[in-house]
Structures are given as structure tokens and as C-alpha cells.
Structure 1
Amino acid sequence: MKVTETNRLSLRWVEETDAGFILTLLNEPGWLKYIGDKGIHTLEDANRYIMNGPSAMYEQKGFGLFLVERKLDHVPIGLCGLIKRDGLKDVDIGFAFLTDYQSQGYAYEAAFATVELAKELGIKRLVAITTKDNAPSSKLLEKLDMKFEGYVTLPNDTEELKKFGLKI
């Protein structure tokens, strides 16, 4: 199901048929370094991730991580969306893109559209988290007018993360 679009991109629900893409994205060096190994090593693992992650959140909250694809050729290039995480009071915006599609403005374009979608859904405040060493994500969040608010450690984790916030 299409959720929103920009001039170059379409954001839609992740489906089971996207398992191959999910397998690739979740094993990209950037995902593993900045987000972590989710144990997705087979198509079966990827399907389970889709069902227990994005699909479950769509059912529970009406939003989640969305697949980002180029309109020109319908090639999936990343994920961007809204997440309600344990340990964070507010809804979180998250994004990740294949290496080949980074530094081309796609992440900002998708994230900006996701902020606009959050407004339409009546969300009043968004947060975002990133590792301390993920300068590109921090820069993108600042470009979205999100302000650094300090550090947070999520439940069942030990890593202190940078937290950004935006009143919308």
C-alpha cells in the first residue's frame, strides 16, 4: 500500500515479496555498523522480520517503516518511516538506505515526506536516535530541523545513543 510520495520517490508498506531487498539492506555494512546485526541471514529470516517488524507495527499503530523506491524504475533503495519503540515516549523517525543510493538526497527527501506524514497523522512531536559516530544521520536530522536533546539508552541495550527531537 502506497503511503506517500515525493517527486522522485514512493513510500509504501513493506510486503513479504520484499524479503530479498530486506535481506540485502539489513546486511549492508552501514546497517550492521550503525543499527546492528538483526540476525537476518536468509529469506526466511527476512520474511519473519517483515511480519514481526513493519507489518506488526502497521496493524498496531497504522504506521511503521516504509519501503522507499524510486518512481523512475520502482527499484527499492531503502527504508524510512515512523516507529514506536520501547524506551522512547515519542514516535521515532528512522531510515536506512543501500550504499549505492546514499549521498543523492534520497534519505532527506524520504525523511521530509515522513515528517509531513507524521503531521497528517496528528503526531505532535518526533524523535530520532543514532549512534554517536553516525555523522551523516546526525547531519540529516539537523537538516530536518531536529535538535540534539542529549543521550538515551534503550531497554535491553547498553549503547548510549544520540537523541534528537522535533515539535511538529
Structure 2
Amino acid sequence: MITTERLRLRRLQLDDAPFILEQVNDPSWLEQIGDRGVHNLDDARGFLRDGPLASYSQHGFGLYLIEQAEDGAPVGLCGLLQRDWLDDVDVGYALMPAYRGRGYAREAVRAVIEHARQDLGRQRVAAFTSPGNVASIGVLESLGFRFQREVRLPGKDQQEDNLVKLFALS
């Protein structure tokens, strides 16, 4: 578990499927990250098994559930991803609407970067964001990430909407 003054970040488990169903169907997630085909609790459990839980087994890290420290309320997701086509780990995050604008994303990302460096020995961390996601770009830049280049995500067709901005923190 990763802790900050206001947050706890813990490994996801299958019991978190109801939250995952809500998170990945949030309109902002769908717009900024994309539809993951999670439309019921069975899909959410599959998302967990094939995504975060598999990543914990394979890499020792993955996406974590962000909870408020004071009451355990689920706030969103934040963690590290290892993509086959990228040498660096990248940090991903998303918050539920009620928790945006409180500094939670910055706090969670900062804690995950510290975890990557201190516990995993990863000095360089990447991050991706949609070109129009001004809030996310602001979070990354406030933490010292610098824009590297635009990249087209592998495995997707050549539509313009799969073009993302790559940031890095060294």
C-alpha cells in the first residue's frame, strides 16, 4: 500500500468490480481513455483479471485503487503500466468526477512516482494524455514532466483520435 497525507493507494481486487464498472464508464474516461468494453460486473472482473491483477503478477506493479485515507471512499485509479512497445513504465490515472479539482491526482501521481523510483528502481517515468486533456497536462507539468512528442498508439487504426502526447520525467 502507498500512503500520502490524504490518500491510500492499494492493489485492486475482484471485489472492486462495482467501482471499476463505474470508473471505466465515466464520460471523461470514455472520452480521454476510451471504451474498454466493460458493461457489467462480469466484464469489470475480466478487466481486473486481464489488466491490473495480471500486471501485479507479471511486473510487480499496476494500477491501484485510490481511496481517501479518512473514510476509505474510492476516489479513482492511479498506478504504473508496462507496455510492450515502451521501454519506460508509464503512470496512468483517472478520478471520479466528485473528486476532481482537489489536488488528488497530483498527490497520487507524486506518490506513484516515488514508489517507482524508491521501490522499483525506475528513474524515468512516462505518461500519455489526449492532446486536449488540459487538466491532465497541467498535473503532469506541475510534477516536472516534459512533453516529448506525439505518438500514435500501436494496435489502433490510423484515426486521429489515437494520437496522444507523450511526456517523460527523468
User: Shorter-chain-normalised TM-score: which range?
Assistant: over 0.9
Q: CA deviation at 1:88?
A: 1.8
Q: Which residue of 1 aligns with 2:139?
A: 140
Query: What is the TM-score of this pair, normalised by structure 2?
Result: 0.95
Task: Please give the per-residue CA displacement for 1:40-91, whole angstroms capped at 9, x wherever unaligned.
Answer: 0000000000010000000000000000000111011100000001322210
Q: Which residue of 2 aligns with 1:153?
A: 152
In structure 2, distance between residues paired with 1:21 and 1:160: 28
Aligned residue type for 2:93: F
In structure 2, distance between residues paired with 1:7 and 1:110: 10
In structure 2, distance between residues paired with 1:94 and 1:58: 15
Asked if the contact 1:86–1:155 (Cα under 8 Å) also holds between the matched residues in 2, the reply is no
Q: Which residue of 2 aligns with 1:128?
A: 127
Q: Which residue of 2 aligns with 1:165?
A: 168
SS of 1:113's equivalent?
A: helix
Aligned residue type for 1:28: D
Aligned residue type for 1:92: D
In structure 2, distance between residues paired with 1:55 and 1:97: 20
Instruction: Tell me the number of residue pairs that the alignment of Structure 1 and Structure 2 aligns.
Output: 165
SS of 2:112's equivalent?
A: helix
Between the two proteins, what is the percent identity of the paired residues? Answer: 45
Task: Please give the per-residue CA displacement for 1:121-153, whole angstroms capped at 9, x wherever unaligned.
Answer: 100210000111111101100011000001111
Point out 4+ residue stretches in structure 1 off by more than 3 angstroms: none
SS of 1:149's equivalent?
A: strand
**Structure 1 gap segments, 5+ residues each:** none
Asked if the contact 1:85–1:91 (Cα under 8 Å) also holds between the matched residues in 2, the reply is yes
In structure 1, distance between residues paired with 2:129 and 2:98: 21
Counterpart among 19, 27, 32 of residue 25 in structure 2? 27
**Structure 2 gap segments, 5+ residues each:** none
In structure 2, distance between residues paired with 1:30 and 1:87: 26
CA RMSD after TM alignment: 0.7
